Amino acid sequence: MRRLFGFLVIAVSLIAVADTAKARYASIVIDAETGQVLHGANQDTRNYPASLTKMMTLYMAFEALENGTLTLDKKLKVSRRAAGMPPSKLGLKAGKTIRAKDVILALVTKSANDAAVVMAEALGGKETQFARMMTKKARALGMKRTSFRNASGLPNRGQLSTARDMSKLAQALLRDFPSYYSYFSTKSFTYAGRTYRNHNKLLKNYKGTDGIKTGYIRASGFNLVASVKRNNRRLIAVVFGGRTSRSRDRHIKKLLDRGFTKLAEIRIAGTPPVPRRKPVSSQYALNASDKNLTPAVSPVSGIPIVTSAGEPLSPTQQASLGTVEQGSANAAFSSGNWGVQVGAFSRAAPAQQAATLAAHSVPQILSSKPISVLSVDGLKGTLFRARVGDLNETSAREACRQLTFMSFNCVVVPPGSS
């Protein structure tokens, strides 16, 4: 009996060890639009994410900004615990405050651990509770092998992720927060008289790089998630376990070079080719009586508008672009539902056209949905917001993902947003 008990203890111990970090090196390269894996090595092996963790901290912050529970100018309190975090840090003082925008920039550039705790406590009360929120969000995003224990990525045996999961998180940040994703391209950040440069050197020395995050602890080695866009195609690459930051950077560049070469050689099944840009049409309304209608062109992106099957709009569809009724300032879609916004304009007509073109561009989701043009008085005059609505959250995010892929400037609009 004792032998059996001892065997069970050993077996359980081995299982526990097996569930912790394994091979430090792992990598993956994916097509950001389709998710197709172009390269993979140990991509599902759990490793320590280190400061790649802050990508999820930022995802939670962007989500809070979008739903209105956080604003960029909101002053967040610095706790004694936050101030006591080890480097890398800003050196924040307990009892002081820092703007949410500065916290975001500190996370992106300096990878500041004290700033990570400030954000965690602002959104979750305690960092442990925030970590549970992060893990729950990871599951919702399909990150099945990721668990978070803190907001910074500082060493914790239970804080684990994979290269594949981190590529999914990068995809989600691009898809769900296109307007906030630009923070990841910040090359330097000045706070309290000191300037901090972004640790991601690819922003300066690898063409097309616009983010996203580096990470390092001794147990993980040098990690990096990079997003690179060339010729209207975007790759996301992840490397865990680099020996040095320089060797990691050299390696991920090689993986990306091979990825772009492979992408050029293959045709992704079921994905229509990306249309080439053409000059933006100066004529928004189309004449239904003209039998020689030219292809409709988006006033937002300059890209010819096609159906979901990749075909040009029919004359009837093109003609309808000039006949949709404009919504009044207060006649938006139901405040209880989600929507998408595809731009804010100084005149109502182009706003209406942008919303209508968006609906035609993703007909399987938006063709039957109401269009509204909302007027908003700002410091620089009246702006007209172009929206399509009455969606659930899943449909709104998917529509925005597809619109962003077609170069629309799309933002998901939560219920109750003005």
Reported confidence tier of residue 52, pLDDT bands at 50, 70, 90: very high
What's the confidence (pLDDT) of residue 20? Answer: 55
Distance of CA 234 to the CA centre of its chain: 13
Is the pLDDT score of 295 beyond 60?
Answer: no
Torsion of CA 187, 189, 195, 201, to 10 degrees: -20
d(CA 232, CA 246): 28
What's the confidence (pLDDT) of residue 359? Answer: 86
What's the confidence (pLDDT) of residue 403? Answer: 83
**Mean pLDDT computed over 29-35:** 90
Residue 248, Cβ neighbours under 10 Å: how many?
A: 22
Tokens 């893990």 correspond to: 135
- The set of residues, in sequence order, having a beta carbon less than 8 Å from that of 297 and lying 6+ positions away, is 278, 279, 280, 281, 303, 304, 305
Residue 370 exposure: Cα atoms within 13 Å on the Cβ side: 15
Residue 195, Cβ neighbours under 10 Å: how many?
A: 10
Range scoring the smallest mean pLDDT among 104-113, 133-142, 171-180, 366-375? 366-375
3-class SS letters over 117-168: HHHHHHHHCCHHHHHHHHHHHHHHCCCCCCECCCCCCCCCCCCEECHHHHHH
Helix or strand or coil: residue 392? coil
Task: Return the closest-CA partner of residue 209 out of 257, 274, 161, 159.
Answer: 257
Residue 35, Cβ neighbours under 10 Å: how many?
A: 14
247-254: long-range pairs with CB below 8 Å, 24+: 247/222, 248/221, 248/222, 248/223, 248/224, 249/201, 249/202, 249/206, 249/224, 251/27, 252/27, 252/202, 252/224, 252/226, 253/202, 253/206
Looking at the chain, the whole-number percentage of residues with pLDDT higher than 90 is 55
* Through-space distance between the first and last CA atoms of the chain, rounded to whole angstroms: 69
Reported confidence tier of residue 272, pLDDT bands at 50, 70, 90: very low
Could you tell me the maximum CA-CA distance found in the chain, to the nearest angstrom? 91
Is the pLDDT score of 252 beyond 60?
Answer: yes
d(CA 197, CA 179): 22
What's the confidence (pLDDT) of residue 298? Answer: 42
Burial of 308: CB neighbours in 10 Å, binned 0-12, 13-18, 19+: middle
What's the confidence (pLDDT) of residue 309? Answer: 38
The sign of the dihedral angle between the CA atoms of 190, 196, 197, 200 is negative
Tokens 């993986």 correspond to: 255
The DSSP letter of residue 92 is P
Length of the chain: 418
Tokens (6 digits) for 28: 């993956």
Reported confidence tier of residue 408, pLDDT bands at 50, 70, 90: confident
Task: Return the closest-CA partner of residue 52 out of 227, 179, 188, 170.
Answer: 170
Looking at the chain, the whole-number percentage of residues with pLDDT higher than 70 is 75
Instruction: List, by residue number, the catalytic residues.
Output: 51, 54, 111
d(CA 43, CA 187): 29
Q: Which residue has the higher pLDDT, 65 or 368?
A: 65
The DSSP letter of residue 32 is T
Backbone angles phi, psi at 137, to 5 degrees: -65, -40
Q: Which residue has the higher pLDDT, 272 or 228?
A: 228
Task: Return the closest-CA partner of residue 104 out of 63, 142, 157.
Answer: 63
d(CA 211, CA 44): 22
Q: Structural domains in the chain?
A: 22-265 (3.40.710.10), 274-418 (3.30.70.1070)
d(CA 245, CA 242): 7
- The set of residues, in sequence order, having a beta carbon less than 8 Å from that of 214 and lying 6+ positions away, is 51, 52, 111, 199, 200, 222, 223, 224, 245
Reported confidence tier of residue 121, pLDDT bands at 50, 70, 90: very high
How high is the mean pLDDT of the chain?
A: 80
Q: Which residue has the higher pLDDT, 195 or 313?
A: 195
d(CA 331, CA 327): 6
What's the confidence (pLDDT) of residue 334? Answer: 52
